[in-house]
A and B are shown apart, each in its own frame.
Chain A
Amino acid sequence: MNNSIMHNKTIADIIAGLDAGEFTSVEITQHYLKRIQQLDSTYNSYITINEASALAQAEAADKRRAEGNAPAFCGVPIAHKDIFCTNGVRTSCGSKMLDNFVPPYDATVVENFARAGAVILGKTNMDEFAMGSSNETSFYGPVKNPWDTNTVPGGSSGGSATAVAAHLAPGATATDTGGSIRQPAALCGITGLKPTYGRVSRWGMIAFASSLDQGGPMAHTAEDCALMLNIMAGFDPKDSTSIDRDVPDYTENLNQSLEGLKVGVPKEYFDEGLNPGTEKAVRDALAELEKQGATLVSISLPHSKLAVPAYYVIAPAEASANLSRFDGSRYGYRCEDPKDLRDMYMRTRGEGFGDEVKRRILVGAYCLSAGYYDAYYRKAQQARRLIKQDFVDAFETVDVIMGPTAPSPAFEFGAKGKDPVAMYLEDIYTIATNLAGLPGMSVPCGFVDNKPVGLQIIGNYFDESQMLNVAHQFQQTTDWHKQAPEGIEIGGAE
């Protein structure tokens, strides 16, 4: 086989290759590490590269496979978003505040992949504390979109999305609080899945907004996302919000026919803010699904317009408390030579946090303040309940809901930097699912000016299997997910 393009493989291909003995985990791990060394200076998708430990893990995986009792995923290299705590490996969350932070524990997601024998190539770049939709807020510099390095990869999981899109990892973990898996997946032309809230443990995943954060996979295909989700999902007694419910094999239903599937198409997701090229790609994708036997049902999610304002009260409110622990007293950044306690607090947080993080802490603290709580936080919670009810009502009549993931394709660096609200509108179609706690996916469905467009699939609670089935079937008759950016040699679409 041609080892120079081993990186064209999906996770499913890698598992098959390892099973068949076509190559070893050490070989494919070395291949990815070499690519990262050669190419990532262009993309900046990794914050930390685990060269030595990845090779050790790969050797151990090969040994385990040779012994014959290895789990399927054993030896597959992936990357973790730098929001997941990794025992003994710096976990920065994209912030100066945690530039020196080495956790003494693994996130449950990290532990699950370790148990499955996965090889961790490194930790991927991200918006600081997952706050951003363009990966421009990272302390480690912006990530470049492989499809056009003048444009952003989306955020906050821009590093994971780019690592996958540039074939610097076959899959990567990510997190989604308001669209942070789906929007960068869309902008980078890959597949990403945000599970139902409570499906994946949040233990060891540095909190942005606890009631919205959810970890999930990013990869090239729905099948790969299913393989990763099999490892990530499950009840965790260390996370009180994780849900004790059986985890199905997410690959089991991938091949079911879409005949009779009812697809809800919310009119609110095709409004005037939507880029016409994006709309056309999404409409074409819906037509493709119709061809496969799905029925499109026009629906309304009447409280959609409340989603962005409600989110930008609730998420900052929770963040303002979640980020209080970064005070310089126990770990992380501490300002030089503090004069007294107040000085230590003020300069540590003033110097350690970037502007967007500070903006959200201020907004959150304001919304929770005496005299404002009812007008903002309580109102936002009411809006949240209405938004959730919209979906509950819609799922009475449809199986999945579809629309665009992001309102437009990737934009240029700095394009929305001066206007936070314009940036916040990037998540206009993704935020509602976080508020409702529903699972959502983004699947590549076309291009506008050679920039990828994502189709969003929203599933019912704990119905990740159905979402994956739809996405997989779509990928059987389309090849948007097989396209590679210019300059990324993958040996042509199969």
Chain B
Amino acid sequence: MEWETVIGLEVHAQLATKSKIFSGASTTFGAEPNTQACAIDLGMPGTLPVPNEQAFRYAIMFGLAIDAEIAKTSVFDRKNYFYPDLPKGYQTTQLDKPIVGPGHVEIELADGSKKSIRIHHAHLEEDAGKSLHEASFEINGHGMSGIDLNRAGTPLVEIVSEPDMSNSEEAVAFAKKLHGIVTSLGICDGEMSQGSMRFDVNISVRRPGEELGTRTETKNLNSFRFMEDAIALEVERQIDLIEDGGRVIQETRLYNGDTKQARSMRSKEEANDYRYFPCPDLLPVVFDDDYIESIRKDLPELPDTRHDRFVEQYGLSSYDANILSGDASMAQYFETAAKASGDTKLTANWMIGELSARLNAADLSIKHSPLSAEQLAGMIARITDGTISSKMAKQVFDGLWNGDGDADSIIEAKGLKQVSDSGAIEALVDEVIANSDKQVDNFRNADESKRPKMLGYFVGQIMKASKGQANPQQVNEILLKKLNDLL
């Protein structure tokens, strides 16, 4: 039986402002609990919010980047619910008059096809604090939870898509595209492991041609891989459920990346009535056209523009350019390494191949790559000048990854220098030919078209004799010449 999947995303991106959205407290990540929460963030009696202009500016930058209309009048609402990490008992957010209206972004898929994903709106809101449930907190025999309000009041832009994605590839491509846009704009640091970007995925399934099915929401996914896994898991669960005669209920689910399992958090029946109403402490914020245009004028290069520039300037394929231009840090890494190494194509290949695979496996972003762009370039330069072979480069890469120093010192330490001395290689070739009478005879007697395939044996023996250090290109050239001389 055929199924269609319908996916929509809600994305929370923390804005990289220095201070919070309604207070002067710092937003730096990783400080001691409750050292970056002022009286306003603590919801102390009599305190009042004062909006941070930078947060509005950043939200407008995002709106302009997705070709959306910027609301001339933007209103904050209170979303009421009780939770210890929500100091005021309400979250200040936007419901009816969000700052960013409908927009869209284009994603590119592995098969080279493109798709436009519509964005319903994006709004500004404040983040909540964090509850810390630690075994060590205990008073009078009761378990206790700690509250860290450092994060409370950090500005967020919540980006809500239309349900325009139909599989996990599209959802991840869309998520990566947003990540690329916000990091390129410099409005979010994109550090997903620190919660700077968090994804809620709405998923439903239906048979082709049918009405939309009941959706579930899987909340707070903070890596692209978790998103991919969580979508696969939820789609399978829903299809199994329906095929077994059950029905999907509208609920919020939590995915655990460690166990790769998801569980229901609450159903629609248990959902809060948030009693939204306009926040009377904040007046509607009005922007004039000049203000918006001045922001548009200063927009930095966006992923789409950069993609086209990479294709043009570096001769990359559209697909490669997409991978390297999407994320601001990735693009910067690439341009730095390409310039330093002098070999654009090889730099692209190493970044898309080995480096990406390693980063993915270690769940690291390019920003936290153990090897710098300069170090990668140093290695590539040694491949280009023939000092090491591509095969040796893998060992050098390991060394760079493990922090053993730069390429040259690793090459030196591991004795990886490629033998490019033609005299030495000739001697090796002669030795192998002398010890391979049978194979030489076969070569001689073989049909000419089959001879190239027979070279592999000789090359293998020569490389083995050189302990892998002979320059393969030179080996090929000299070997071919010597064998032909024997014909």
Q: Which residues of A contact B (CB under 8 A)?
A: 84-85, 91, 93, 98, 101, 103-105, 107, 202-207, 209-211, 237-241, 317-318, 320-321, 323-327, 329-332, 337, 339, 341, 345, 365, 368-370, 373, 377
Asked whether, in the complex, the Cβ of A345 is within 8 Å of the Cβ of B46, the reply is no
- 12 chain-A/chain-B pairs, Cβ below 8 angstroms: A93-B45, A98-B45, A103-B44, A105-B47, A205-B46, A210-B281, A211-B280, A238-B50, A239-B50, A330-B44, A365-B80, A370-B275
Distance, CA A448 to CA B80, complexed state (A): 46
Other CB < 8 Å A-B pairs besides A209-B280, A239-B48, 20 of them?
A101-B45, A105-B44, A107-B46, A203-B46, A203-B48, A205-B46, A207-B46, A240-B48, A240-B49, A240-B50, A241-B280, A241-B281, A241-B283, A320-B275, A324-B88, A324-B89, A325-B89, A331-B44, A341-B145, A345-B82
Asked whether, in the complex, the Cβ of A318 is within 8 Å of the Cβ of B280, the reply is yes
Residue among B45, B48, B283 facing the most chain A CB atoms (10 A cut-off): B45
What is the minimal beta-carbon distance from A151 to any residue of chain B, in angstroms? Answer: 31
Residue among B145, B280, B283 facing the most chain A CB atoms (10 A cut-off): B280
Distance, CA A324 to CA B89, complexed state (A): 5
The residue that A327 contacts in the complex, of B39, B84, B283, with Cβ under 8 A, is B84
What is the minimal beta-carbon distance from B195 to any residue of chain A, in angstroms? Answer: 22
Which partner residue on chain B sits nearest A331 by CB separation? B44
| CB neighbours of B89 from chain A (8 A) | 321, 323-325, 327
What is the minimal beta-carbon distance from B192 to any residue of chain A, in angstroms? Answer: 29
Distance, CA A341 to CA B145, complexed state (A): 10
Known: A324-B80, A325-B89, A327-B84. A373 touches B44 (CB 8 A): no
Distance, CA A23 to CA B87, complexed state (A): 49
| CB neighbours of B142 from chain A (8 A) | 339
Judge if B109 is at the interface, Cβ distance under 8 Å.
no
Asked whether, in the complex, the Cβ of A237 is within 8 Å of the Cβ of B50, the reply is yes
Judge if B147 is at the interface, Cβ distance under 8 Å.
yes
Asked whether, in the complex, the Cβ of A206 is within 8 Å of the Cβ of B49, the reply is no
Distance, CA A211 to CA B286, complexed state (A): 19
Number of interface residues of B (CB under 8 A): 31
The residue that B84 contacts in the complex, of A205, A209, A329, A369, with Cβ under 8 A, is A329
| B75-96 interface code vs A (CB 8 A; 1 in, 0 out) | 0001010101001111000000
Which partner residue on chain A sits nearest B282 by CB separation? A240
The residue that B277 contacts in the complex, of A84, A240, A317, with Cβ under 8 A, is A317
State which residues 342-371 of B face A: CB under 8 Å: none
Known: A237-B50, A240-B48. A325 touches B43 (CB 8 A): yes
| CB neighbours of A101 from chain B (8 A) | 45
| CB neighbours of B275 from chain A (8 A) | 320-321, 365, 368-370, 373
Asked whether, in the complex, the Cβ of B42 is within 8 Å of the Cβ of A330, the reply is yes
Distance, CA A271 to CA B276, complexed state (A): 37
What is the minimal beta-carbon distance from A461 to any residue of chain B, in angstroms? Answer: 15
Asked whether, in the complex, the Cβ of B282 is within 8 Å of the Cβ of A373, the reply is no
Distance, CA A134 to CA B84, complexed state (A): 34
Asked whether, in the complex, the Cβ of A327 is within 8 Å of the Cβ of B82, the reply is yes
Asked whether, in the complex, the Cβ of B90 is within 8 Å of the Cβ of A238, the reply is no
| CB neighbours of A370 from chain B (8 A) | 273, 275
What is the minimal beta-carbon distance from B269 to any residue of chain A, in angstroms? Answer: 13
Judge if B51 is at the interface, Cβ distance under 8 Å.
yes
Distance, CA A362 to CA B237, complexed state (A): 41
Known: A329-B147, A330-B43, A331-B44. A368 touches B87 (CB 8 A): no
Judge if B294 is at the interface, Cβ distance under 8 Å.
no
| CB neighbours of A377 from chain B (8 A) | 277
Which partner residue on chain B sits nearest A91 by CB separation? B45
Which partner residue on chain B sits nearest A324 by CB separation? B89
Which partner residue on chain A sits nearest B76 by CB separation? A240
Judge if B140 is at the interface, Cβ distance under 8 Å.
yes
Asked whether, in the complex, the Cβ of B45 is within 8 Å of the Cβ of A325, the reply is yes
Distance, CA A27 to CA B82, complexed state (A): 50
| CB neighbours of A365 from chain B (8 A) | 80, 275
What is the minimal beta-carbon distance from A102 to any residue of chain B, in angstroms? Answer: 11
Distance, CA A373 to CA B84, complexed state (A): 26
Which partner residue on chain B sits nearest A105 by CB separation? B39
What is the minimal beta-carbon distance from B149 to any residue of chain A, in angstroms? Answer: 8
The residue that A240 contacts in the complex, of B44, B51, B145, with Cβ under 8 A, is B51
Which partner residue on chain A sits nearest B90 by CB separation? A321
Distance, CA A352 to CA B92, complexed state (A): 25
Residue among B44, B78, B87, B273 facing the most chain A CB atoms (10 A cut-off): B44
Asked whether, in the complex, the Cβ of B281 is within 8 Å of the Cβ of A85, the reply is no
Distance, CA A211 to CA B277, complexed state (A): 12
Which partner residue on chain B sits nearest A98 by CB separation? B45
Distance, CA A345 to CA B337, complexed state (A): 57
Which partner residue on chain B sits nearest A84 by CB separation? B46
Asked whether, in the complex, the Cβ of B283 is within 8 Å of the Cβ of A324, the reply is no
| CB neighbours of A318 from chain B (8 A) | 277, 280
Asked whether, in the complex, the Cβ of A240 is within 8 Å of the Cβ of B90, the reply is no
Distance, CA A101 to CA B275, complexed state (A): 28
Asked whether, in the complex, the Cβ of A202 is within 8 Å of the Cβ of B48, the reply is yes
Residue among B78, B140, B283 facing the most chain A CB atoms (10 A cut-off): B78
| CB neighbours of A104 from chain B (8 A) | 39, 44
